[in-house]
């Protein structure tokens, strides 16, 4: 519809409706044909995104915990004193 309006700038709304049909019907048909706008697809992609975010947060927390444990082990080793007697 937009292309037709741009190419013949003097079209009226009635002419566009007679050529393409009712705008609500046209929009409904477009959304039904376009998979990415279907509610099931949107919900599925949001669920995948949320699972990935949760997995990354868990991985980050586990990594920080592991680094904390390693840091504490290294600190313990660094405070040991070795005395060498002759």
Contact 26, 32 (CB under 8 A): no
Same domain, 23 and 44: no
Residue 55 pLDDT greater than 90, yes or no: yes
pTM of the entire predicted model: 0.44
Q: Cα–Cα distance between 59 and 53 in angstroms, integer?
A: 10
Tell me whether residue 5 is in a domain: yes
Tell me whether residue 86 is in a domain: no
**For residue range 3-50, what is the model confidence (pLDDT) as tens digits?**
776 776 677 778 778 888 888 888 888 777 776 666 777 788 889 999
Tell me whether residue 66 is in a domain: yes
Same domain, 25 and 44: no
Range of the domain at 44: 39-79
pLDDT of residue 9: 67
- Residue that wins the pLDDT comparison between 18 and 66: 66
59 pLDDT tier (thresholds 50, 70, 90):
very high
pLDDT of residue 24: 87
């Amino acid at each position: 519809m937009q292309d037709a309006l741009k190419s013949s700038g003097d079209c009226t709304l009635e002419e566009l409706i007679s050529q393409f049909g009712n705008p609500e019907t046209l929009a409904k048909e477009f959304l039904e044909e376009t998979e990415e706008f279907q509610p099931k697809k949107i919900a599925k992609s949001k669920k995948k995104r949320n699972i990935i975010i949760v997995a990354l947060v868990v991985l980050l927390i586990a990594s920080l915990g592991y680094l904390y444990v390693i840091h504490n082990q290294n600190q313990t080793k660094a405070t040991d004193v070795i005395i060498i007697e002759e």
